[in-house]
Every structure is written in C-alpha cells, then in structure tokens.
Chains A and B, each alone.
Chain A
Amino acid sequence: GQQLNQSPQSMFIQEGEDVSMNCTSSSIFNTWLWYKQEPGEGPVLLIALYKAGELTSNGRLTAQFGITRKDSFLNISASIPSDVGIYFCAGQPPSGTYKYIFGTGTRLKVLA
C-alpha cells in the first residue's frame, strides 16, 4: 500500500539542540498530521496542517505543509528531556477517502 518515508529513523541529541524530521510521499496529501507517542501509550496529536505552504507552531514545535503537497517537516527547538518519544506523521490522501497513511516514526532521544 501507499507509504510515507519518514526520516531520520532515530536520533540522539543534546538537550538544548534543535531537531528536524520530515516525511515524504510520492503522492499528494490534503492533510498532514504530526503525533508524539510514548512507550505503551496512544499517539497524541501535536500539529495538524490543512493547506499547502501552511506553517504552524505549537510551543517549541513548528511544522510545515510542503508546497508540493508531498512532504512535511517538524522542527523542535531547544529540546528538553521530556521530548523523548516517537514522532510520526500521517497524511490524508485527496478527498473521498477516510483513510490515513502513517510514517514509521522518528525515535528521539535527548541526552541531558
């Protein structure tokens, strides 16, 4: 089935550093969603994007909907230890479907 390529798969960073991750697809999407998931818990929605070019922030998090509608990125500024977790993206294909496509996640570890 359709897949999203998410990178990097994992990263170790020092506390205070900025983090960037992205998702790319060969197909266009109408919606991009970014989630954080901690071990044994359900994903929590961080940012939702609905228009190409849209740039949205949520505290130290910023995400953008790529102009081509085939990619999105998430930045975390000034990382802190509680940012540890798995971040994954989800894209909704063009209207007419209720399905979402999910990336495989970026595992973030923050070194204090």
Chain B
Amino acid sequence: DGGITQSPKYLFRKEGQNVTLSCEQNLNHDAMYWYRQDPGQGLRLIYYSQIVNDFQKGDIAEGYSVSREKKESFPLTVTSAQKNPTAFYLCASRFSGMPSGNTIYFGEGSWLTVV
C-alpha cells in the first residue's frame, strides 16, 4: 500500500534523553514535513524538506533536529533541549503537480510522552 508510515506510535522519553521518530513514505513525494499538535491548537511546523539533503526550520524548530538522506525518509529527533516535548507528532509529504495541485498527506502520528 502507498502511504506515509510513522513509527513508533507511542514513545516514552526520560528526562535528558534524545529520541527519534521515524517517517517513511513510498509516494515518491519530494517535500516532507514534521508538525507538532497540541490540544486546542492548530498544527505547528517543526521542520520541512523540499528535496534530499536539504531542510528548513519551521516555526518551532528549537530542540528538534532532522535529516533527509533519502527521498523516502525524514526522521525527527527530539533532543533533551526540547523542554516540553509531550505532544502528538505528525509527518506529512506533499504531492506537487497537475491536475491535483499541491496537496499534503499525513501519516498516522506518533505520541511522545515525557516520563
């Protein structure tokens, strides 16, 4: 099946620990994104990547890092510098082209909880 796969679905992080969330897509999309979702708020952009080996900070990049070594993969590392990491994290990728235009599709999300 084509789609965006995030793993793990649930992750617990201890204080001072770095954790990595995986995102893989087999849609052949060029652009990929990471968003953070908190209750009652709209999605906030952490990082995005338009092409392999290139990525840009979003609105809340502090405490996070990413890599884009392959077109299919865009892992997100939540570092110990992120003081409030408990949230639902969503990976997305973007289809660009006619006739459908620019549309983004989401993975199923990963829950990160600090313990």
Give residues in A with beta carbon < 8 Å to B. 1, 3-4, 30-31, 33, 35, 40-45, 48, 50, 88, 90, 92, 98-105
Residue among A31, A43, A48, A105 making CB contact with B90, cutoff 8 Å = A43
Q: Given A1-B59, A98-B94: A45 and B105 within 8 A (CB)?
A: yes
- From B41, B42, B58, name the one whose CB has the most chain A CB atoms within 10 angstroms: B42
A44 to B108, CA, bound (A): 9
**Interface residues of B, count at CB 8 A:** 28
Give residues in B with beta carbon < 8 Å to A. 4, 6, 31, 33, 40-43, 45, 48, 50, 56, 58-59, 88, 90, 94, 100-109, 111
A42 to B105, CA, bound (A): 9
Residue among B43, B101, B105 making CB contact with A102, cutoff 8 Å = B43
Q: Given A41-B109, A42-B109, A98-B94: A33 and B45 within 8 A (CB)?
A: no
Which residues of the partner chain A approach B105 to less than 8 Å between Cβ atoms? 45
A100 to B104, CA, bound (A): 9
Chain B, Cβ-Cβ closest to A103: B42
